[in-house]
Amino acid sequence: MKVGFIGLGAMGLPMARNLHKAGLLSAVYNRSPEKARSVAAETGCAAADSIEALVKLCDAVVLCVSADADVLHLVDALAGSLRRGPRW
């Protein structure tokens, strides 16, 4: 399974690293692109420049964002890009 991760803050970064250690992390996205690029360089995953690009690289997406409005915005963006059902 290829997992994408959105939200590389204080909680999300360690979670993304754990997914990498488990061999699951495929791509990361963050509002601050430099943070995503840094994690990608560290882990060897892709740094997606958009949510749509992230979804194309993943079977599942983990979202770790705390602000309600940000969560709703990201869920709306994901809803237009996600595929139904498993790919594996």
Q: What's this model's pTM, rounded to 2 decimal places?
A: 0.90
Instruction: State the pLDDT at residue 54.
Output: 95
Diameter of the chain measured on Cα atoms:
32
Instruction: State the pLDDT at residue 87.
Output: 56
Instruction: State the pLDDT at residue 40.
Output: 98
**Half-sphere exposure (Cβ direction) of 10: Cα atoms closer than 13 Å:** 1
Average confidence (pLDDT) per 10 residues, the chain, 88 residues: 96 98 98 96 97 93 94 90 67
Which residue from 53, 55, 49 is spatially nearest to 37, judged by alpha carbons?
A: 49
Superfamily of domain 3-79: NAD(P)-binding Rossmann-like Domain (3.40.50.720)
Structural domain boundaries of the chain?
Answer: 3-79
Q: Where would I find the beta strands (DSSP E) of 1-88? A: 3-6, 25-29, 46-47, 60-63
